[in-house]
Copies of this chain bind each other. A is one copy, B any other.
């Protein structure tokens, strides 16, 4: 119940983030809807297909389709009031990856998969929709910029399994793991933290 609620909230966040990027590229109404749709269902579709949950989730539950159409319409109508697009995009995208990480991890658990696989599924669910969104809109995929992004999802997933040893109440686990994703990403972007480099400063590329 609470789990599906998280899934729908994530869908709203990603649908809005997709619509924002598409509108910024000045796409026509159908283009905005298609990008909103792909952003919202991309990660979950990849996850479901790889696990073998078919037809994939959004095909069996029309709620997702209506929620995406509603969210995209909402973003289009309010676009002149969403003045700070870059900030809004960051906000909805961050909420989206937090919620979808939890959804992906839990879906893997329900399918009886190994914790490491579940964390990979959570990260994929969270990141893949945004990657497709950015590729289709010809932006540099958010996952390949210098920021902490997939790493936040991996840490959220790890938190989930660490706490699973101590906590029985799943709903708290969902909330805490999601908050870890959001906080890691917020702190990393705010303080420009990145992972330690593998390379010395004066080392030049050897392939080129």
Contacts and interface: CB of A to CB of B under 8 A. Distances in A.
Interface in A112-144: 113-114, 116-117, 120, 136, 144
A148 to B, nearest CB: 9
Interface in A138-159: 144, 150-151, 154
Contacts of A62: 114, 116-117
Contact of A50 (B23, B45, B111): B45
Contact of A51 (B25, B59, B65, B208): B59
B59 A113 contact: yes
Contacts of A195: 28-30
Given A28-B198, A136-B144, A55 B55 contact: no
Contacts of A196: 28-29
Interface in A148-199: 150-151, 154, 194-199
